[in-house]
């Protein structure tokens, strides 16, 4: 069974879970702190990307603000010794991009500062995931190109493009091309139009 996403009315939210009304059925779904901070207030429409975890005795549906967070959750969940609840706790204690950066840099000390990660787990995460990430995943090359005024524009553009279904990694690559070619003197609408032509 695959449930790719859930769309409905947000009934209630707290830092670890939400209740969403989907056609009269109210679903309780665990979320991360990052998702909690990004979703709207109750009584507003909401859509979450989802992952259905199935065991012999239970089925649990986990919710995420975007594909990037869900993909990282699935990668963590695939590592021996890290179950779905541990993966959610880890993601609640760090920003996904910063987390990937720590893995790429093999920064065991920084990883162990995240709640739920000890030294052995940090080393296991690095071994399992380091080769799966690149600098493009962290956006570090893009940050280098942007001045502080542009970063606000890019955050707004990125949110719009993610809401249209594009992945953050693809968005970062396109924005990097726009910055390198023309800079970011245009307004946000023009930047979005330019990005859509390249996506």
- Residues 77 and 57 reside in one and the same domain: no
- Whichever domain contains 93, its CATH number is 1.10.150.20
Give the residue numbers spanning the domain of 23: 5-64
User: What gap in Å lies between CA 190 and CA 151, rounded to an integer?
Assistant: 16
Q: Of 91, 117, 134, which residue is a domain's last?
A: 134
DSSP letters, 116-131, are T--HHHHHHHHHHHGG
- pLDDT value at position 73? 95
Instruction: Give the DSSP H/E element, type plus range, for residue 64.
Output: strand 59-64
168-193 pLDDT, tens digit each = 777 877 887 777 665 666 788 888 88
- Residues 151 and 165 reside in one and the same domain: yes
- pLDDT value at position 190? 85
**Count of structural domains within the chain:** 3
DSSP E strand stretches across 84-179: none
Q: What is the value of pTM for the model shown?
A: 0.67
Q: Supply the mean pLDDT for the chain.
A: 85
- pLDDT reading at 72 higher than 50: yes
Local confidence band at 145 (pLDDT 50, 70, 90 cut-offs): very low
- pLDDT value at position 125? 95
1-25 pLDDT, tens digit each = 578 999 999 999 999 999 999 999 9
């Amino acid at each position: 069974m695959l449930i790719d996403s859930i769309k409905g009315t947000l009934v209630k939210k707290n830092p670890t879970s939400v209740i969403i009304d989907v056609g009269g059925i109210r679903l309780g779904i665990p979320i991360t702190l990052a998702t909690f901070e990004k979703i709207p207030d109750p009584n507003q429409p909401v859509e979450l990307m989802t992952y259905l975890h199935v065991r012999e005795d239970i089925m649990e549906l986990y919710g995420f603000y975007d594909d990037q967070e869900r993909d990282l959750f699935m990668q963590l969940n695939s590592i021996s010794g890290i179950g779905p609840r541990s993966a959610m706790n880890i993601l609640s204690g760090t920003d996904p991009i910063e987390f990937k950066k720590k893995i790429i840099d093999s920064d065991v000390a920084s990883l162990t500062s995240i709640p739920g990660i000890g030294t052995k787990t940090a080393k296991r995460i690095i071994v399992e995931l380091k080769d799966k990430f690149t600098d493009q995943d962290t956006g570090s090359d893009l940050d280098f190109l942007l001045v502080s005024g542009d970063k606000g524009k890019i955050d707004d553009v990125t949110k719009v493009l993610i809401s249209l279904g594009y992945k953050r990694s693809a968005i970062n690559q396109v924005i990097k091309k726009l910055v390198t070619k023309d800079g970011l003197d245009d307004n946000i609408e023009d930047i979005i139009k330019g990005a859509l032509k390249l996506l």
